[in-house]
Structure 1
C-alpha cells in the first residue's frame, strides 16, 4: 500500500543495521522528500543488570562500533546522514525532531520488554499527527504470511517448521537500487563513539578466536560470499557445524544476524543461488533449517511475551533453583569439575564466542547439573556473546533448562559429549593449556 508522502522522515536504526533488504529504510526513501537516520548507543545497554553483569561487554560493543561505522559510510553513499549519539534514544531523537521537524518515523518493530519500553519513551513526546511506521524486518517468514494466529504457534519446533515450509512463502529481497543524494546538503558532525567512550579499554582479538571477523554489512556480505561461493564450505555445513576450533566449522552468520547487519532472507536467497549454480544437499538445506529455528524463537517470544524471562518459563515448572555464588563464579571462570565445560567458558571469557555445541553443554551443566537459576546463565551469555539475540538466547536457555517448548526434561552428559566432539582433547588443551587429559 502506498504511504502518504512525508516531507522529512527519520529512520531509527536499532537491530536492523544494514542497507540491503531493509524495508524501513526503503519505505522511508520511497515516501519522503528528505530522509535522515539515527543510531543511539543507549547507555542502558552498558549498565549492569540485576545479576551484576554489564548488559553488553567489550566484545559486542566493539562489533557494534564496527557495524555502525560501516552503516554510516553506506548511508552516506546514498546521501543519507546517519546521526550517531552516545545517549538515550528518547533524548537524541527528541533533539533531532526539534531541529528537523520530521513528520514520520520509520523503524523495525520490536516487542520484547526493554526494546518496547524504549520505543514508548521515544514516541511519547509526539501527538497523533506524527506518523510511525513499524515493520517486522527480522524474520525469514514474515508474521503476516503465517497461516495461523500467533496464539496458535505450535509448541514443538518440528510442527512449526513443517507448517511454514509447506504453507508459507518467503518474501523477496527489498532492493535499494539507483537511489542516492536524497539530502546531501545536510551536514552531520556526529561521530561513532570509541570503546573508551562506552567504558571499555581497547583490545585486540585473541589469536585463537573462532570469530576473528569484523562487524558491519560489508564484512557480512564478504564473509557470505567466501563461505558460499569461494570456499564452498556451505556444501559441508551439516558435517562440520558441531566443530569447536577455527572460524570455518560453522557459518558464523549469527553476529550479523543478531544486530541485523545481515538479513535471514539474504542468506536464504544466496543459498538458493548456490544450489542453482553448484549443488543442493543436506548441508545447503540445513543452513535454512537453522534460520527457521531462529524464526521459531522469535515467534515464541512474540507469543509468550515476558514469560520467556520468568524463572518458571513457558511450562510454569516449579523447580528448585539455586543461586550459590561460589558455583556461579566457578562456572563463569572455567573452574568446575568438567574440563569440557571449563574450556568453553574460558573461550567465551577470552573471545566473546562459543560454539553451538559448547553453549548447549555449559547451559545444561549450569541449569541441570548445578541446578542454578537459569536466568543468571542467560544474563551472563547476554553480557558476553558477540552474537547475543534476545529471542534465541532466552529461547535456548528455556529449552535446555527444561522450562521451554520441549516437554522432555533432558540433560546433557558432558563427559560423553566431550568424548564425541573433542575425542582428542585438542579443544580442551587449547583453552586449558596446562590441564592433562
Structure 2
C-alpha cells in the first residue's frame, strides 16, 4: 500500500496542480499545510514576513482548500512549526512512503527543501514543476541563458509561443491514511496568532475572499461575464474600485489560482472574441511575473542585496525618520500618503501606486530600497518574493536591466492619474475640505492651516514638481 504526503505551500488549489495529479495513484494521501509562526517575527529589515491582511487571506484560502478536499473524500491537515522538523516525524508515525510537493525558487525555501530531504530517511521527496507560467520545457533556451532584460525575454518566448493545457481538479482523491484524523484540529484564528482581526474597509480595491473558488469566480467574471479584460489597457492605471485591473495577483501569489489556467482561459477568450491591446496587456503582465520568477531562480540571494544584481550600482543606503513617515502615510506628499494608507488598511495597492511610492522612497527620500521591499512583504495581500523584490530592484536601478533608477515625478503622476483628487480624498480624510486644486499640493497652505488639519508639511518641494504646481502658486 502506497502512502503519500501531499505538501501544499504557495499552491493552495486542486486545479492544474502537478503534485495533486501525481498523488492520484496512491492508496492513501495526506494533504498537509505547515504554518510557520516564525513568519510573524520581525525580519532583518524590521518588518514581519507576514502581516494581518495576508494572514487573513491565507486562512480563508486554507479553509477553502480544506472544503474542496472534503468534497473529494479527503481533508487538509494544518500544523504549526517548521516543515523540515514536522514532516519527517509525521512520515515516520504514519509510515508514509513519499512526500510530494512543488519545486521552490527562493533561496530560503530551496534550503528548506534540501534540509527536509536529508531528514526524511527512508521516505522519498519528489518535487514537481513549480508554479510558473512557463515550465522549463516551454522556455526558448536553458534557464541559465535567459535574457536579463524583459523585452528580450518576451521576444524569445513569443518566437515559440507555448500552448497552455492545464489539467482540471480531480473528482476524487485517495482516502486519508489510517489514524490521520487524530492529527486534525481547527484552523488557528488571527487572534490566536496574535494578529487580531482586520476591519473591513468600504473603499478597498480588493473586496474579495481568499481561496480557489473565489479566485476561479473572479477569473470567470473578468474574462467572461463582465469581460473587463477587454478594457484592461484603458483602465489598468486606475486607483479606485475593484474593476480597473484583473485583481488576480493575490490568488496567483498563494497559488489559489494557476497562471497556466489564467492563460488558457485568456487564449480561449481571444479565440471567441478576438484579441486586442488589452488582452495582450494582460498576457504581458503574466509574462512579467514569470520573468521575475526565472530571474530569482537564476540569481538567488543576489536579488536581496543592497546593490541587487549590479555590482557597479550604488543604491541609497540611508534609513532615517523619513522612512517611518513613508510607512505611516505621512510624508506630506498626498498621492504617496494615500497609497500607503490604503496598503495599511486593506493590504492592497494599485500597480501605478506601487511604482509611485517605491520611486518616491528611493529617488526622492533616498532611503534603502530593501526596507521598502520588506514593508511590502509584510503588508501586501499578493506578496511573492520574485515579483516584489524584482520590481523594487528594477525601480532602484539594481536589477539586470541596463537602465538606471526609474524615478517618477510624483506630482505629475498625481495630476495624471488622480486629476480631481478623488483618490487622495478617499484615503486622506483630513484633505477633504481642501479646495480641489490644492488637494495634491497642501504644502502650499499656511502652517496654521496644515496644523489645524493634522496633515504633515512637506519638507521641500522638488524642483521638478514646479511645472505641476497650481497656476496661482
Question: What TM-score does the superposition give when structure 2 sets the normalisation length?
Answer: 0.87
Counterpart residue number, 1:62: 56
- Report if the CA contact (8 A) 1:18-1:261 is conserved: yes
Counterpart residue number, 1:216: 211
How many residues of Structure 1 are paired with residues of Structure 2 in the alignment? 430
The 5-angstrom pairing of residues 79-90 of structure 1 reads: 79-90=73-84
1:164-193 residue CA offsets vs partner (Å, 9 max, x unmatched): 121252441123334345348653632211
1:53-99 residue CA offsets vs partner (Å, 9 max, x unmatched): 11111000000000000111111222223211122213332332122
Whole-angstrom CA distance in 2 between matches of 1:404 and 1:183: 46
Question: What TM-score does the superposition give when structure 1 sets the normalisation length?
Answer: 0.94
Whole-angstrom CA distance in 1 between matches of 2:103 and 2:112: 12
Deviation at 1:111, TM superposition (A): 2.6
1:133-169 residue CA offsets vs partner (Å, 9 max, x unmatched): 1122311110232121222111210111111121252
Q: 281, 300, 307: which one pairs with 2:302?
A: 307
Deviation at 1:43, TM superposition (A): 1.2
1:314-357 residue CA offsets vs partner (Å, 9 max, x unmatched): 11134262333311111111111321111111111111111000
Counterpart residue number, 2:414: 418
Counterpart residue number, 1:330: 325
Note if 1:147 corresponds to 2:143. no
Gaps of 5+ in 1: 1-5
Counterpart residue number, 1:13: 8
Secondary structure of the equivalent of 1:9? strand
Counterpart residue number, 2:153: 160
Note if 1:99 corresponds to 2:93. yes
1:220-253 residue CA offsets vs partner (Å, 9 max, x unmatched): 0111111121111111111101100001100000
Counterpart residue number, 2:424: 428
Q: 364, 369, 379: which one pairs with 1:369?
A: 364
RMSD value, Cα:
1.6
The 5-angstrom pairing of residues 183-332 of structure 1 reads: 183=176, 187=181, 189-319=184-314, 321-332=316-327
1:105/1:374 Cα in 2 relative to 1: closer, same or farther (>3 Å)? same
Please identify, of 10-19 and 133-142, the stretch whose mean Cα deviation from structure 2 is larger: 133-142
1:157/1:320 Cα in 2 relative to 1: closer, same or farther (>3 Å)? closer
Secondary structure of the equivalent of 1:364? helix
Larger radius of gyration: 2
Whole-angstrom CA distance in 2 between matches of 1:125 and 1:281: 51
Whole-angstrom CA distance in 2 between matches of 1:144 and 1:395: 23
- Report if the CA contact (8 A) 1:80-1:184 is conserved: no
1:393-429 residue CA offsets vs partner (Å, 9 max, x unmatched): 0000000000013222231111111111111111011
Gaps of 5+ in 2: 440-473
- Report if the CA contact (8 A) 2:29-2:177 is conserved: no
Whole-angstrom CA distance in 1 between matches of 2:337 and 2:277: 32
